């Protein structure tokens, strides 16, 4: 939390002496007066139980309590997706309740609804904001067609530890990339404004610091300095709020020993007072009730008190408010004004959505909305644009179609559900084009396809095994001789000119409650990999997964490695497009890829610390492991080649209008392709240590063979600002700044400029 330290007082005074305060007045985001008046009028008519009903959301699988809806004691469902049933309960709410208030219907529309797109970390790997907007817009259109009007997305948590399962659900490790993706996704879900046709409410989650769980263990506590919280983990949420996100979801975990769903500083002081957020906060599932388990609340009644007074508008799942707030009012522990303040944003949201005028959906149009061929075309393009080419020695890729035989091997080669990834409840695995299917369709009947599964993979939870079973499980993972399935895979490889080996994780191995202590290939996949590689055949490794994996052996033994993440419904077609050159990979890593789990947490934007000019051992490194990652943040290859040069700044000094940064980008190959130009900065000195490099701009562009384009990236004073632990304020400080522009976080085109006066952000 924000704290003040007397020991910083003198430093702050000295720094403030040379500070220029930017004279700006903060204007609270406007609320339509007509919507506010309508909400206030409705609120005045409501009984206490009707108000508490609006603050309550229940899971559909708990049943359909029509009597609660009729009494106005239920404001929202989640996990209800059947359009007929949604219409039915909306009829009950609108026609049988006293005040005719429709229901919010929420669902985890994370990376698509019926059409499943690549998982969010893959979408971030596209570095394509327009694509991300389009994906969420299509997802919103499909979800809204069945009556869903609220998505529990985007997840904007920063994740610096690949062990954390929910890294798959966000945009990776960088606050700038994460902020840009957050804005694009909010805009895609909500359209121009909440209530736009065929759009739904977005909900940025999980507020805040959830991605910093100790040891990468989901639900575990997060301990973050003020600096990390303000400069790394909060910016994507702030960006989502500025973009008009309708909802914020409070997180499960403790943040610096204060549970996030009972944290008044987070949910009130920061979110509402400082950021002027006007929407509503929903707890994560049972997170208010769980305040007792945290040891913050004495009992469930106390949990209701702490959740409501902290700023949680809607209790997801536990009915804690409905059960205990009446007693809290009687005991004068909460006031009716506090209840009303919690209800108002929910009423405004329903009015903004147009639910009172249009509470029902046209069931005759659902099928067409869910099976629009254009959505499949977008899914195929998105999967191709999200893939990252990690290795391509001797230009092995793209593969030639003029071969007589190809082996397609691996437990994920013909997988359906697994290609969808986690949080794909609305999708149908039967719709998924597997990688084997995609290769067959791409090559046609003229090429013999030799398929072998090689090995099977399953998730075996170790946490609750008794000692005997744990010992047996450990013994089963010891090195073993190749079994019959691996032998079949080796035979298929030997009988083929080329080998496509598809390895990685099951969808259940990434996502919520899916943290891993190891990043190795699960099961016998490493044995399969090495056995097939021993045949000497040209191998292309295709990775299907939701996090970086330990592929250090493969990175020196396998000539071509293509990261396709969990690519979604059209994944197989997209992968085949990439493998055979019908599409050109251009994705870039949104996370730093470690050599092994011992390097975690690992991220590029580290501070520089101890350096001894005469002895390099006095530096931050492991003596038994290279200090650099396997693949850098922002890294990704292409079948094309590019030259980035002629870096120029519009000025040697940045003033209030900012600086234009330009570079020349040339396609030096004979193949059309995309490049992602990335801009990084570094503040050389100031009130606090600053990261060695920070992403501050990027642009994905397409170039024809031999074509040169000028790329302009505008850098502002706000881009350079940070929250200083010395001054306890956000400012752009007087300093010299380095600029690098290139194709990854190790860009080499360099320039520098000065900021002559510190400017404090209001």
Catalytic residues, by residue number, are 284
State the DSSP H helix or E strand holding residue 737, giving kind and residue range, or none if neither: strand 735-742
What are the strands of the beta sheet with 280-283, ordered from one edge? Answer: 203-207, 247-250, 280-283
Specify the DSSP class assigned to residue 169: G
Dist CA 759 CA 761 (whole Å) = 6
The count of residues in the chain is: 762
Residues with Cβ < 8 Å from 67, sequence gap 6 or more?
none
Dist CA 112 CA 134 (whole Å) = 11
Peptide bond into 601 cis (omega under 30): yes
The answer to whether the beta carbons of residues 85 and 150 sit under 8 Å apart is no
The answer to whether the beta carbons of residues 51 and 40 sit under 8 Å apart is no
Q: Phi-psi category of 273—alpha, beta or left, where left has phi over 0 and alpha has psi -120 to 50? A: alpha
- The 10 Å CB-count burial string (b at 16+, else e) for 475-505 is eeeeeeebeebbebbbebbeebbbbbbbbbb
Strands (DSSP E) contained in 326-402 are 388-392
The answer to whether the beta carbons of residues 391 and 552 sit under 8 Å apart is no
| Burial class (CB within 10 angstroms; exposed 0-12, middle 13-18, buried 19+) of 616 | exposed
The answer to whether the beta carbons of residues 171 and 224 sit under 8 Å apart is no
Dist CA 243 CA 200 (whole Å) = 15
The answer to whether the beta carbons of residues 467 and 458 sit under 8 Å apart is no
Dist CA 160 CA 386 (whole Å) = 20
Q: Rounded to whole angstroms, what are the CA distances from 41 to 313, 409, 503, 616? A: 19, 64, 59, 70
Specify the DSSP class assigned to residue 665: E
Neighbour tally for 157: CB within 10 Å: 27
Between helices 320-330 and 300-310, what is the axis angle to 10°?
Answer: 90
């Amino acid at each position: 939390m924000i704290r003040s330290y007397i020991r910083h007082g003198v430093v702050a005074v000295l720094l403030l002496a040379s500070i220029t305060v930017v004279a700006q007045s903060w204007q609270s985001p406007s609320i339509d007066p007509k919507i506010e008046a309508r909400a206030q009028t409705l609120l005045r008519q409501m009984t206490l139980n009707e108000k508490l009903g609006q603050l309550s959301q229940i899971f559909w699988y708990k049943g359909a309590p029509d009597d609660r809806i009729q009494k106005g004691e239920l404001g929202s469902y989640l996990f209800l997706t059947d359009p007929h049933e949604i219409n039915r309960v909306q009829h009950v709410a609108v026609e049988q309740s006293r005040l005719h208030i429709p229901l919010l219907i929420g669902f985890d529309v994370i990376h698509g609804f019926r059409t499943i797109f690549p998982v969010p970390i893959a979408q971030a790997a596209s570095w394509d904001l327009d694509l991300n907007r389009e994906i969420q817009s299509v997802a919103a259109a499909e979800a809204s067609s069945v009556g869903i009007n609220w998505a529990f997305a985007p997840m904007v948590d920063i994740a610096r530890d690949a062990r954390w399962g929910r890294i798959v659900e966000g945009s990776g490790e960088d606050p700038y990339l994460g902020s840009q993706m957050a804005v694009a996704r909010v805009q895609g879900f909500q359209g121009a404004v909440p209530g736009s046709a065929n759009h739904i409410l977005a909900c940025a989650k999980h507020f805040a610091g959830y991605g910093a769980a100790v040891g990468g263990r989901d639900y575990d506590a997060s301990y973050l300095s003020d600096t990390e919280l303000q400069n790394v983990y909060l910016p994507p949420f702030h960006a989502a709020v500025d973009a008009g996100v309708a909802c914020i979801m409070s997180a499960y975990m403790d943040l610096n020993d204060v549970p996030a769903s009972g944290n008044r500083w987070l949910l009130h002081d920061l979110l509402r007072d400082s950021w002027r957020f006007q929407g509503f906060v929903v707890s994560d599932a049972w997170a208010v009730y769980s305040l007792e388990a945290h040891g913050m609340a004495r009992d469930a009644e106390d949990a209701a008190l702490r959740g409501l007074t902290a700023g949680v508008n809607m209790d997801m799942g536990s009915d804690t408010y409905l059960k205990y707030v009446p007693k809290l009012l009687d005991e004068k522990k909460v006031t009716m004004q506090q209840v009303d303040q919690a209800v108002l944003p929910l009423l405004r949201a329903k009015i903004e959505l147009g639910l009172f005028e249009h509470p029902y959906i046209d069931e005759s149009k659902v099928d067409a909305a869910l099976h629009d061929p254009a959505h499949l075309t977008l899914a195929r393009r998105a999967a191709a644009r999200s893939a990252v080419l990690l290795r391509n020695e001797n230009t092995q890729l793209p593969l030639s179609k003029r071969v007589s035989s190809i082996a397609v091997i691996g437990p994920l080669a013909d997988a359906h559900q697994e290609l969808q990834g986690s949080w794909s409840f609305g999708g149908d695995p039967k719709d998924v084009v597997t990688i084997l299917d995609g290769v067959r369709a791409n090559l046609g009947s003229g090429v013999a396809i030799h398929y072998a599964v090689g090995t099977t993979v399953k998730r075996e939870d170790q946490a609750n095994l008794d000692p005997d079973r744990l010992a047996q499980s450990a013994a089963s993972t010891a090195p073993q001789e190749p079994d019959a399935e691996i032998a079949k895979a080796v035979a298929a490889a030997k009988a083929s000119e080329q080998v496509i080996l598809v390895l990685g994780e099951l969808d259940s191995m990434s996502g919520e409650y899916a943290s891993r202590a190891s990043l190795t290939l699960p099961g016998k996949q490493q044995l399969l990999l090495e056995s097939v590689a021993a045949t000497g055949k040209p191998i292309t490794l295709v990775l299907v997964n939701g996090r970086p994996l330990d592929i250090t052996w493969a990175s020196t033994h396998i000539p071509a490695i293509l990261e396709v993440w969990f690519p979604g419904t059209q994944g197989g077609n997209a992968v085949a497009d990439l493998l055979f050159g019908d599409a050109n990979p251009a994705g870039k890593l949104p996370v730093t890829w470690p050599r092994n789990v011992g390097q975690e947490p690992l991220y590029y934007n580290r501070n520089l610390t101890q350096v001894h000019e005469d002895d390099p051992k006095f530096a931050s490194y492991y003596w038994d492991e290279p200090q650099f990652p396997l693949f850098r943040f922002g890294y990704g290859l292409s079948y094309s080649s590019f030259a980035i040069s002629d870096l120029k700044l519009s000025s040697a000094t940045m003033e209030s209008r900012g600086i234009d940064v330009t570079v020349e980008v040339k396609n030096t190959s004979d193949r059309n392709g995309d490049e992602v130009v990335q801009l990084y900065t570094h503040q050389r000195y100031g009130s606090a240590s600053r990261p060695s490099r920070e992403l501050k701009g990027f642009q994905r562009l397409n170039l024809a063979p031999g074509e040169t384009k000028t790329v302009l990236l505008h850098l502002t004073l706000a881009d350079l600002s940070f929250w200083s632990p010395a001054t306890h304020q956000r400012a752009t400080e007087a300093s010299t700044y380095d600029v690098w522009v290139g194709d990854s976080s190790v860009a080499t085109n360099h320039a520098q400029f000065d900021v002559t006066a510190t400017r404090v952000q209001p």
